[in-house]
Amino acid sequence: MWKRYIVGIDGSDEAKAALKCAIDMAKRFGGAITALNIVDQAKVTQTMMSPGVPYAPIDIKPLSFYAELQEKLTAMGQAALKDAADIAANEKVAFNPVQTMGLPGEILTHAAKSHDCLFIGKRGFSDDKKALGKEVLHVAKHCPRPVLVADTTFHPIEKVLIAYDGSPEAAHALRVAVELSGKDGYDFHLVTVSEPQRAGETTIDEAREYLTPHGVKVEYHLMSGDPSEQVLFAAAKYGCGMVLMGAFGHRTFWERAFGSTSDKILRECELPILLAK
């Protein structure tokens, strides 16, 4: 069972949804939440450079500009932490707010080492609703703990869909399912998308062999077609409130040809995505 949850807080709707996911788990399993707001050091020290001309500044601002910007970002972060604290207090969940300055991806990755899971918004304040935030890309690759990536909406989670392709990376999702099962845990639907069917049946048998001795409540489904489309379809069909999958699949998250299954699900799914590590 998980007991320590860390959430990246920046005031965005995605971060608020990530906090609600953490609260949902903390109420279910017990434990405490650390809320971490990071004043982005790159924003308060960045120098604008001339395009195509290395090290040629085109917009030199006075030091007072960066001091004022840091003060503004600090105040915004403190306001976001206060809002988060109010939400946690209303839900009667133990809560520890922390503010620091640095590079968000690196700090979140390091801080997650002493927690069971990192919760983060999908894209922050980006106007591109299909883009993933740079922090998400960083922690998905480097974080040593599971990472939950939230979109803008949250609904209480009762059932979880496991996207399982039989890869070593996807096997981490089975371990996380065991950690999140039990008396107070979730029910699961496991989906394998495979052609030919026999290979998919073998993959499901492997998952069943691991999960059954642990007493995990799970229903198994073998599907065919585009993996990302079928995972999203199955999550809606079976009423799942979260998708659990390995942080990487048979084709790596950073595959050379843009658009892995993991990447597509992360971009297109409106449910929270839990990346198992």
DSSP secondary structure of 166-177? S-HHHHHHHHHH
Whether 253 shows a pLDDT value over 50: the answer reads no
Specify the pLDDT at position 131. Answer: 66
Q: What tokens appear for 124 in the block?
A: 């922050």
Highest mean pLDDT among 58-72, 226-240, 241-255 belongs to 226-240
- Per residue in 170-203, pLDDT (tens digit) is 999 999 999 999 888 999 999 999 988 899 999 9
Residue 110 sits at φ, ψ, to 5 deg, of -70, -45
Q: Is 76 helix (H, G, I), strand (E, B) or coil?
A: helix
- How do the domains of the chain map onto residue ranges? 4-44+69-150, 159-276
Measured in whole angstroms, the distance separating CA 249 from the mean position of its chain's CA atoms is 16
d(CA 159, CA 181): 10
Architecture of domain 159-276: 3-Layer(aba) Sandwich (3.40)
Is the entire prediction scored with pTM above 0.85?
Answer: yes
* Domain covering 4-44+69-150 in this structure, CATH number: 3.40.50.620
| Topology match between the domains 4-44+69-150 and 159-276 | yes
Specify the pLDDT at position 71. Answer: 95
Specify the pLDDT at position 264. Answer: 84
d(CA 100, CA 48): 24
Q: Is 12 helix (H, G, I), strand (E, B) or coil?
A: coil
Q: What tokens appear for 77 in the block?
A: 């972060």
